[in-house]
Amino acid sequence: MVRVGLTTERLTQAGAELADEVGFDQVTVSALARRFDVKVASLYSHVRNSHDLKTRIALLALEELADRVAAAVAGRAGKDALAAFADAYRDYARVHPGRYDAARLRLDPETAAASAAVRHSQMTRAILRGYDLTEPDQTHAVRMLGSVFHGYVSLEMAGAFSHTAVPSQESWAWTLDSLDTLLRTWTTT
């Protein structure tokens, strides 16, 4: 009976890898146990239940994503910052589709409030500093940007843009141009 050295962190990490390989909804306590070559029940000392595991993966993904966005945006402003933000977001989803889906998991309010989701909205607001919008326009813009980024990435992941000759990359660039133009227009209004 060799001890493998399970910890909540290792399980969460492995769960995130599993999610990227087989999809977040295929992440199961059983699959994770197999991956560690350990009996299923053993995981229950480290993770409360299946939902707890998924929540931890979601929180990990939110942190990672926030870190990447923060790094991408650092030292940039205006459209540069907007594009860096958006690309960081989209790239993360491409490289880590399972984690990206995990980040979309509905968290209960307290958990969400204590998560990196807070940093996400702060960073979005930071982007908007380059386009001086005042409240409530700033909030509207935060919501719109979040919608476009999430919507685009999620439709693209679902394959919705792969049935036309027009490359998705071009539509992405066009969209970012449009958003920049739009925000600059609002600024002068």
| Contact footprint for its own copies (CB under 8 A) | 25, 104, 106, 109, 112-113, 135-137, 139-140, 143-144, 146-152, 154-155, 158-161, 163-164, 166, 168, 170-171, 174-175, 178, 181-182, 185-186
Q: How many CB atoms lie within 10 A of CB 2?
A: 5
CB of 81 to its own copies, least distance (A): 19
CB of 52 to DNA, least distance (A): 8
Q: 14, 31, 77, 126: which one contacts DNA (CB under 7 A)?
A: 31
CB of 75 to its own copies, least distance (A): 27
Place of tokens 């409360």: 48
For 27-55, the DSSP string reads --HHHHHHHHT--GGGGGGT-SSHHHHHH
Binding of DNA by 49 (CB under 7 A): yes
Rounded Cα gap, residues 84 and 94, in angstroms: 15
Binding of DNA by 108 (CB under 7 A): no
The torsion angle over the Cα atoms of residues 167, 168, 171 and 173, rounded to 10 degrees, is -100
Of 6 and 65, nearer to DNA (C-beta) is 6
| Site of interaction with DNA (CB under 7 A) | 1-7, 28-31, 38-42, 44-46, 48-51
